[in-house]
Amino acid sequence: MIPIHENIDGRVAVITGGGGVLCSRMAVELVRHGVKVAILNRTAAKGQKVVDEITSKGGVAIAIETDVLDRESLVRAKKAILEQFGRVDILINGAGGNHSDAITGPEKYEEDATSKSFFDLDESGFSDVFSLNFTGTFLPSQVFGKDLLKAESPTIINISSMSAYAPLTKIPAYSAAKASINNFTMWMAVHFAEAGLRVNSIAPGFFVTEQNKDLLLDENGNYTARSKKIMAATPMKKFGKPEELLGALLFLVDESYSSFVTGTTMAVDGGFMAYSGV
């Protein structure tokens, strides 16, 4: 178990997508270190479930139904958070994901493909995935940015992906959007460096969650052909567990460890990115 980071006790974290598999574990962990948490999730029930888990153990958390692509919804959430907690210190831009409308059937071009080819990808499906992963980080950063700048040691954590570096086959919109997250992380880090707001990303390797389980597991829960390729490319030969992201999160959030760290994207990937395949 990670030792308690007393330095962040009493701070307030806003976590978009905090009802999801990875970010709900981040929420629970931050609360363990004394952080008060606002879960902003599009599906209210998912956010509330995480809040119930936290409050049943004595932690402080609220869930607010929020769409990260709707500025008004974010502004409403901010108002409620400021009324309840009075401040914002940490923003985790965790909402993100993929959709079948933006995924090709074959990995590589096939002239006589029977499943969805690159040319069949629906423009609006492609844009929706791109927006969720990019604009869904840009808008919350804008809406919460001014309040973050009032905090003593504010920080933004974005969530990138292995697909940001060498894009994974089949998922061009998601890959392009996650690449833009690394770029935007650096942009914001530079823009706000002298104002004291640190901006970093975490790039998870492969974790089986709601958004990718259909790609990674078959109907019987066995590895798909794609999972087998991932395993072959992951030197540690396993999928990550959500709790394996938490050390990176606490390092980046707590300036007593990372006060000179901004603009970086930290891979937590079992060696995937380091491996050339040879």
Query: Which positions are catalytic?
Result: 174
Cβ–Cβ contacts within 10 Å for residue 124, how many?
A: 9
Q: Does 270 bind ligand NAD (CB under 6 A)?
A: no
Exposure of 9 by Cβ count < 10 A (0-12 exposed, 13-18 middle, 19+ buried)?
exposed
Q: Output the smallest distance, CB 96 to ligand NAD, in A.
A: 2
Residue number with CB closer to ligand NAD (17 or 59): 17
3-state secondary structure of 30: helix
| 174 and 102 Cβ atoms separated by less than 8 Å | yes
Q: What is the DSSP string of 227-249?
A: HHHHHHH-TT-S---GGGGHHHH
3-state SS record for 47-76: HHHHHHHHHHCCCCEEEEECCCCCHHHHHH
Shortest Å, Cβ 102 to ligand NAD: 12
* 70-to-12, 67, 126 alpha-carbon distances in Å: 22, 5, 18
**Which one of residues 12, 22, 148, 246 is an interface residue with ligand NAD (CB under 6 A)?**
22
Which one of 54, 74, 77, 94 is in contact with ligand NAD (CB under 6 A)? 94
Backbone angles phi, psi at 164, to 5 degrees: -75, -25
141 lies in the binding site for ligand NAD (CB under 6 A): no
> Taking CB positions, which residue lies at the least distance from ligand NAD?
20
Least distance from C-beta 176 to ligand NAD, angstroms?
A: 13
Cβ atoms within 10 A of the Cβ of 92, count?
A: 28
Smallest gap from Cβ 240 to ligand NAD, in A, equals 7
Single out the segment in contact with ligand NAD by CB under 6 A; choices: 190-198, 205-213, 224-232, 270-278.
205-213
Stretch that binds ligand NAD, among 17-25, 49-57, 78-86, 249-257 (CB under 6 A): 17-25
Interacting span for ligand NAD (CB under 6 A) from 16-24, 107-115, 146-154, 220-228: 16-24
Quick note: the x/- pattern for ligand NAD over 43-82, rule CB under 6 A, is x--x-------------------xxxx-------------
Cα gap 129→199, rounded to integer Å:
23
Taking the complex as a whole, the smallest distance from the CB of residue 50 to ligand NAD amounts, in Å, to 9
> Binder to ligand NAD among 41, 180, 201, 227 (CB under 6 A)?
41
Closest by CA position to 19, among listed 133, 98, 95: 95
Nearest Cα residue to 126 out of 102, 97, 99: 102
Q: Is 20 in the site for ligand NAD (CB under 6 A)?
A: yes
Residues of the shown chain interacting with ligand NAD in the complex, contacts defined by CB under 6 A: 16-17, 19-23, 41-43, 46, 66-69, 94-97, 132, 136, 159, 161, 204, 206-207, 209-212
